[in-house]
Amino acid sequence: MIKRSMLFLACSSILLLLIACSGDSRTVKVGLAYDSGGRGDGAFNDAAYAGVTKAQQEVPVEVLELPATGTETDAERRVRLQQLARSGYNPVIAVGTGFSSVLSTVAAEFPGTSFVIIDVALDGQNIDSVVFASEQGSYLAGVIAATASKNGHIGFIGGMDIPLLRAFEAGYWQGAVSVRPDIVIDSSYLGDGSDASVWNRPDLAAQAASSMIGSRCDVIYAAAGGSNTGIFQALKDAGGSERGLWAIGTDSDQYNAPQLAAVKEVVLTSILKRVDVAVYEAILGVSKGQPVTGVQRYDLARGGVGYATSNKALAPYQTAADTAAQRITSGGITVATAIRHLTAADTGTAVSLKTGDLLTVTLSVNASTGYSWSVAGGTGEVLSEEGKAVYLPGSSSAIGSSGSYRFTFRAGKPGLTTLRLVYKRQWETTESPAQTFVLTLAVTA
């Protein structure tokens, strides 16, 4: 009798162990729909796949990867997501803004499937919407670039000209001028918001970078996905790190990306967008039967953005970056998420901004007159001046010689205002209306 009881207990223990193990070993089928460029871009898509491999170390994961075509339509993106959902993949992870107009529809068709979208804020009962405070990481890029630049001239190259990338530019610009108010910043986008192929056009990126280098730009923030390769190559071909020419990469640690080994010497650092962490957390949530839903914001405080320290050449600039990061996380610095640049050609126009947006106005100075630009009116609660106007010299560094004045403003409370800048002699208190720049602004929340 005792032997039978012991045998029963032993069998029961084994059965319970098998049940427990079978519960832990349920394979998570992950469907990964890549953005343009696909895996191997050394950036955004690779970061997403890194999250899958990290999850595989903890739970059984089967993954199906579906790449994009360079000229993919919304209909084709929708089909990719539907294909993964119909095949039982859960979660289905859509990498990038290209899926913003189709994911909600597909998610509604498959209510039992968890959908994850990266870099887009969407609502839905079965949607995990992951966004990053890219402007905060980009602020650090600006601090590093301005500190490292020998020429006081840096650049920004984005892929598509879309709000997401404008946040990169705004943060970069704000961080750079916080260190050197008179720094010159060139900005360029490889395409408008309709052509996703620019994320994988290193030839276009190389042309843009070469043009900036020719203008004495010595640090370039590369935010163009798979096209970053062209920026790195252009900097290397122009003399690279030996000439003090640097790039700042994006999304993943591009200094350590195997496919970028030939050009890694110019990658001073990379601004990390922890797509890998977001994907990893989404997979683990599904594996536990607790899929994440709602908008998840990954910022500096959460460890969602940051910068890579792989290149030892970065060491002299880390203190400045770390100090800036601490001020952001403590609330001492509010980083803008959009920026608009205007010149004299824009006088008389009407501009719409959102609260917190940055606006720059750059106006030339005529060397023969000794006149300069100044603010005559229009600042206040609706629009405030962000620091004093900065003189950017041309061929001569003397104030009043040929060059330009750059004004920076930040949109404040919602409302209307008229910005008025006048061109007058510096030593005169009365206006000499040689020229006036007028702008009507509407600020919304």
What confidence tens digit (pLDDT) does each residue in 84-139 have?
999 999 999 999 888 999 999 999 999 999 999 999 999 999 999 999 999 999 99
Closest by Cα among 229, 250, 47, 46 to 137: 250
SS3 of 331-393: the string is: CCCCCCCCEEEEEHHHCCCEEEEECCCEEEEEEEECCCCCEEEEEEECCCCCEEECCCCEEEE
Q: Report residue 429 as tokens.
A: 């208190």
Question: What average pLDDT does the segment 143-153 reach?
Answer: 98
Structural domains of the chain, ranges and CATH numbers in brackets? 26-133+277-287+293-298 (3.40.50.2300), 134-273+300-329 (3.40.50.2300), 339-444 (2.60.40.2020)
**Residue-level pLDDT at 433:** 56
146 exposure class (CB count in 10 Å sphere: 0-12, 13-18, 19+)? buried
| 49 close to 32: Cβ distance less than 8 angstroms | yes
Q: How confident is the model at residue 4 (pLDDT cuts 50, 70, 90)?
A: very low
| 125 close to 293: Cβ distance less than 8 angstroms | yes
Return d(Cα 387, Cα 408) in angstroms, integer.
Answer: 7
Return d(Cα 297, Cα 381) in angstroms, integer.
Answer: 29
Kindly report the pTM of this predicted structure. Answer: 0.86
- Checking if the pLDDT of 218 tops 60, the result is yes
What integer best gives the mean pLDDT of the chain? 88
Return the SS3 of 258.
helix
58-67, 274-283, 319-328, 429-438, range with the lowest pLDDT = 429-438
Return the SS3 of 356.
coil
Peptide bond into 291 cis (omega under 30): no
Question: CA angle, corner 265, sides to 262 and 266, nearest 5?
Answer: 110
| 58 close to 253: Cβ distance less than 8 angstroms | no
Q: How confident is the model at residue 6 (pLDDT cuts 50, 70, 90)?
A: very low
Residue 73 has a CB neighbour count (10 Å cut-off) of: 12
First to last CA, the chain: 79
Return the SS3 of 15.
helix
119 exposure class (CB count in 10 Å sphere: 0-12, 13-18, 19+)? buried
**Residue-level pLDDT at 393:** 78
Instruction: Identify the residue with better confidence: 228 or 398.
Output: 228
**Residue-level pLDDT at 17:** 36
Return d(Cα 201, Cα 226) in angstroms, integer.
Answer: 7
Return d(Cα 31, Cα 65) in angstroms, integer.
Answer: 6
Question: What average pLDDT does the segment 239-266 reach?
Answer: 95
- Max CA-CA distance within the chain? 113
Q: Which position has the token pair 């959102």?
A: 354
DSSP characters for 182-248? T-EEEEEEEE-TT-GGGGG-HHHHHHHHHHHHHTT--EEEEE-GGGHHHHHHHHHHTTGGGGT-EEE
Q: What kind and span of H or E run contains 109?
A: helix 103-109
Q: Report residue 360 as tokens.
A: 């720059």
**Residue-level pLDDT at 395:** 52
Return d(Cα 91, Cα 124) in angstroms, integer.
Answer: 14
pLDDT digits (tens, 9 = 90+) for 314-373: 999 999 999 999 999 999 999 999 999 999 999 999 999 999 999 999 998 775 556 678
112-126, 194-208, 426-440, range with the lowest pLDDT = 426-440
Return d(Cα 232, Cα 253) in angstroms, integer.
Answer: 14
pLDDT over 90, % of the chain: 72
